Homo-oligomer: A and B are copies of this chain.
Amino acid sequence: MPPFARLLIANRGEIAIRVIRACRELGISPISVHSDADVDALHVQMADSSERIGPPSPRDSYLSIEAIIDAARRSGADAIHPGYGFLSESPDFARAVEAAGLVFIGPPPETLESLGNKLAARRGAQAAGVPIVPGTTVALGDDSHELAGIGYPLMLKASAGGGGRGMRRVDSPGALADALVAARREALAAFGDGTVYAERLLAPVRHIEVQLLGDRHGRLAVLGERDCSIQRRHQKLVEESPSPAVNPGTRAALFESARRVAASVDFHNAATVEFLLDADNNHYFLEMNTRLQVEHGVTELVTGLDLVAWQIRIAAGEPLADAVLNLAGRGHAIEVRLYAEDPYDDFRPSAGRITAWRMPAGPGVRVDAGVSADTDLRTEYDPLLAKLMVYADDRPSAMDRLRRALDETLIGGVQTDAGFLRWLVDDASFVGGSYDTGLIGERWGTDHALDSELGALAATVALAARTMAETGRVRAPGSNRAGSAWGEVARREALRR
């Protein structure tokens, strides 16, 4: 018997599709939601039905608790999966779901509340005997003397923060006052809460996180770590498991700390405990995210588990299987995120219509995509296009596989980070496993002059293309393409009926 009959997915893009697939496999009818910008989106096409939830602006659609609860009621859903981002960590949303008599696929609202407050989470971890990043454990006032013991450079962080927002690096006491004002303003604007705290800026440091699954019967599974040290703007680009920096002793210590943090809150469902790991293998608690992570697939590849299916089963009350509790990972998995971002221009987001879309396939390759050819990329939403994951029996083979998979990947119409990723798999510090969070700043840098060999190859292609176009042998995207205009009209009309 399926755990639920109909499940509404309060998200979009690749993660909505990921949950749709889990629903299909569990025998649950998946219902999607869409803003007016997403009428033709892939996640709408793949669901059994889709409910309109508002205009394109996320505030009025994917972040509207009322619109989503309404959609769930209309569609007859008995559970809601929030995906990641949007409302996934909103205690108000979780409460509204439960108040509507539906099951929220996630932890209790109180847990979301207590962990959403990063300062409270820091205090909780400390009380549980887990090392935290040196810094303040109470809201920062205006007195810079509180920070004297931390040392510079330091990071100001929003207590209500997440996803890199409301963070400010401060290099000296003189820069503190201005940074404090800016961080508070940004935090207030983004989260409605201007509380900030300070942490010492550790460097070189790696970002390591531990995946947890907990059921409603007090059983907890620790499903290995992921190394997420390759970041731009404090957001992850690449993740791998196991971490090449973590030795068995450190792993045991990380797992023990993760267990302690989990035990200190009323947690069930999927969660991740994030740590920083310094060059001496000391780890420091950063935060606990009580939702599915973007990079959960890396853990799925090494454990063989389906984390989304387990999220749904746990929410329905199913206990974790013994085999899950005692699971050892196997092999090595790496994920790279394909973003509509320009790595040659500071990873600035790009927009437009995808004209060509070829994803790799074959042994050890998994692609979770949210778009396809002819998708229009809108600036309202996250620029994540797809997650490309590889699995092999060891790290060098996984790296070779990733390089091969990236060589098969072709995306036209928008600049993506694929060029950066292709560079990365040949970078000595990544290949050697010795990288830290400074990799992009130090090794990729900002100087990306076109080398003459690449320019000459581009010239060859453009010259041939113009010649072929003039002799009528090719009509490249950019000139008008037959069919697409009709298609849009037909699709829109069908959905409006």
Residues on A facing B (Cβ under 8 Å): 17-18, 21-22, 24-27, 46, 297, 300, 304-306, 308-309, 323, 330-331, 359, 361-369, 391-393, 397, 400-401, 403-404, 407-408, 468, 472-475, 482-483, 486-487, 489-490, 493
B304 touches A363 (CB 8 A): no
**Which of B17, B306, B359 contacts A397 (CB under 8 A)?**
B306
B482 touches A468 (CB 8 A): no
The residue of chain B having its C-beta at the shortest distance from the C-beta of A390 within the complex is: B25
Contacts A25-B401, A323-B393, A363-B366: A483 and B475 contacting too (C-beta < 8 A)? yes
Contacts A305-B393, A393-B304: A21 and B362 contacting too (C-beta < 8 A)? yes
B404 touches A363 (CB 8 A): no
Taken together as a complex, chains A and B put the C-alpha atoms of A365 and B309 apart, in Å, by 15
Query: This chain: how many copies in the complex?
Result: 2
Leading 10 A-B pairs by shortest Cβ distance: A473-B490, A25-B400, A24-B404, A304-B331, A21-B362, A304-B393, A482-B482, A25-B404, A473-B486, A361-B367
B489 touches A363 (CB 8 A): no
The residue of chain B having its C-beta at the shortest distance from the C-beta of A306 within the complex is: B363
Residues of chain B within 8 A of A474, CB atoms compared: 486-487, 490
Output the least CB separation between A369 and chain B (Å): 7
Residues of chain B within 8 A of A362, CB atoms compared: 17-18, 21, 366-368
Residues of chain B within 8 A of A17, CB atoms compared: 362
Output the least CB separation between A437 and chain B (Å): 28
A366 touches B365 (CB 8 A): yes
Residues of chain B within 8 A of A397, CB atoms compared: 25, 306, 309
**Which of B26, B359, B361, B486 contacts A400 (CB under 8 A)?**
B26
Most buried by B among A27, A407, A474: A474
**Which of B26, B400, B407, B483 contacts A27 (CB under 8 A)?**
B400
Output the least CB separation between A253 and chain B (Å): 26
The residue of chain B having its C-beta at the shortest distance from the C-beta of A46 within the complex is: B408
Residues of chain B within 8 A of A401, CB atoms compared: 25
Taken together as a complex, chains A and B put the C-alpha atoms of A309 and B407 apart, in Å, by 18
Taken together as a complex, chains A and B put the C-alpha atoms of A43 and B17 apart, in Å, by 30
A468 touches B490 (CB 8 A): yes
Residues of chain B within 8 A of A482, CB atoms compared: 475, 482-483
Output the least CB separation between A295 and chain B (Å): 13
